[in-house]
Structure 1
Amino acid sequence: MLPLLRTLGILTLGSVLPQAALGQLSATPRTFTSSTVVLTNGDTLRGSLILHSELDVLLITMADNTVRTVPAMMVRTFAVRGEIMSFDRLPAQYRNSSAFVPARVRRRGQDVQRSRPFLVYPWNRDRDQAPASAPAFFERLNGGPVILLRRQQLVQRAVPWSDAYFNTGYAARPAGGPYYYTDVRENLYLGTPQGSIVALRKPRRDLLAYFPAEAAQIERYAEEYGLNFTDSAHLARLVDYANSLRAVAMQ
């Protein structure tokens, strides 16, 4: 089989990707039960979807069970729903028990049923000295015109059975470990009205630097409503508030 990057280079929209190639694309894909994908040529595709974030490639299973391979350069926008959450080798009796699943994994369930929109921006993959950018997928978290964006990466972590959330007295440590679960690592960005990306490496500092005239009001708003600059839902509210301040100032 051709090397992975060469294989991706010759795939075209509508090609059927063999199962063997699917296994090579990524050890940690994001899988969704339904999607609507709008292409740059105006076509719309629907079906279950696998998102390979590190390669910015979509695999869409069509009604005839073929898999359409769609790179970011061919996508205008897409929305997904119903993420299939993986617990890897976590024992079956613990997969749906809040007592035995880390809180950060439980929080992923909040996003499972809602529709989640994604946009495409040129991105240098956080390499500031990179000579060029390539189209990449970003999840949209607020309204705009300045948009809070995020990219999530799935990482596999070992279950620390000695931690407090496993020592509840309801069950003994299962045999057969070690066990693993899939955790989420996320990076946040601003999408500007000009179509560029601003990385929020330190969200508080970088957000206030982007909105210098509104910075003091943003900080007061965050304090009044108990919002922090690291939670993506809180940060989305702060960006929306900053947008409203800037809109008023421009009137």
Structure 2
Amino acid sequence: MKNNICVISWLLGAMLISCLLPTEASGQYRPTIDVQEWPSGKVVLTSGDTIYGPVTFYRTEEVISVLNEDGTKSSYSPVNVQYFVAQEEPSGRAYTFRSLPWDLGRGYTDFKKPTFFEQLNQGDFTLIMREEYTQKDASRAEMLYAHNAMYGSEYYVPGSEWVDQIKGLYYIMLPDGEIVTLRNVRRDLHQLFGNKSREVKRFVKEKKLSYEKQHQLIAIVNFYNSLK
């Protein structure tokens, strides 16, 4: 039993270190649960100006910071930004974030606030995402690690008492710019798919896809767009 506890402690320590430190494979990391950093990026402002440099995204505050060549930093909120692209090195993988007018999920109001969303695909139905953060008891961390491996969720271990869980919140942006919240991803998507729903379900079954895994969810939405 003692050996098992030691192994679990070692695994958790390794997970923490791998989450905190940038790696050559990823080129980006999280210094805290809701802050993400990339070594290079491009920010296109509403003024039309374009700024290049390392990018830090403060997700909770809805602010991005760019490190300028002279060592100073410039910060921008969604109202000042059209979109920004953050890029890993040396892989070159790019992450695109757009500033979109959003009613914050309150369908009863006409007020819309510029908000950052990560854009996951292109097409008539655009899959976009934000993040939500919850905490779990770290004594169950080994169970959470097993869940992470199975379902592709992300977990970050900030200390010995709590495990912070990163949950993706998904939305569909329609061609007219309306943002639809996918509260129940599978059900709400198929309502939007309408008379194409049966074809999409057949595709999901044949390819053994899951609505729980982001890359497979992107494939499902892209297949629907291909039917259009």
Asked if TM exceeds 0.5, the reply is yes
Q: Counting strand residues as a fraction of each chain, which structure ranks higher?
A: 2
Matched, 1:134 2:113: yes
Counterpart pick for 1:59 among 65, 71, 86? 65
Question: Which residue identity lines up with residue 236 of structure 1 in the other structure?
Answer: I
Range moving further from structure 2, 122-131 or 151-160? 151-160
Cα distance, 1:207 vs structure 2: 0.6
Counterpart pick for 1:185 among 167, 178, 187? 167
Cα distance, 1:154 vs structure 2: 4.8
| Whole-angstrom distance in 2 between the partners of 1:131 and 1:62 | 37
| Secondary structure of 2:210's aligned partner | coil
Matched, 1:221 2:221: no
Residues 1-251 of structure 1 mapped to structure 2, 5 A cutoff: 28-82=34-88, 114-155=93-134, 157-160=136-139, 163=142, 178-180=160-162, 182-246=164-228
| Secondary structure of 2:186's aligned partner | helix
Cα distance, 1:163 vs structure 2: 2.9
Question: Which residue identity lines up with residue 239 of structure 1 in the other structure?
Answer: V
* Number of equivalences: 183
| Whole-angstrom distance in 2 between the partners of 1:133 and 1:37 | 22
**1:34 and 1:180, CA in 2 relative to 1: closer, same or farther beyond 3 A?**
farther
Segments of structure 2 that go 5 or more residues without pairing to the other structure are 1-31, 146-158
TM-score (normalised: structure 1): 0.65
* 8 Å CA contact 1:29, 1:154 repeated in 2: no
Question: Which residue identity lines up with residue 147 of structure 1 in the other structure?
Answer: T
* 8 Å CA contact 2:172, 2:182 repeated in 1: yes
TM-score (normalised: structure 2): 0.71
* Cα deviation 1:125-153 (Å, max 9, x = unaligned): 22333441101111111121211111124
Cα distance, 1:217 vs structure 2: 0.4
| Whole-angstrom distance in 1 between the partners of 2:102 and 2:85 | 20
* Cα deviation 1:184-227 (Å, max 9, x = unaligned): 22100011111120111101111111110100000000000011
| Whole-angstrom distance in 2 between the partners of 1:52 and 1:182 | 16
Percent identity of equivalent pairs? 28
Tell me which structure has the larger Cα radius of gyration.
1
Over aligned residues, Cα RMSD in angstroms?
2.6
**1:221 and 1:70, CA in 2 relative to 1: closer, same or farther beyond 3 A?**
same
* 8 Å CA contact 2:34, 2:60 repeated in 1: no
**1:162 and 1:152, CA in 2 relative to 1: closer, same or farther beyond 3 A?**
closer
Segments of structure 1 that go 5 or more residues without pairing to the other structure are 1-25, 84-111, 167-176, 247-251
* Cα deviation 1:45-104 (Å, max 9, x = unaligned): 112222122332211111112111111111111111249xxxxxxxxxxxxxxxxxxxxx
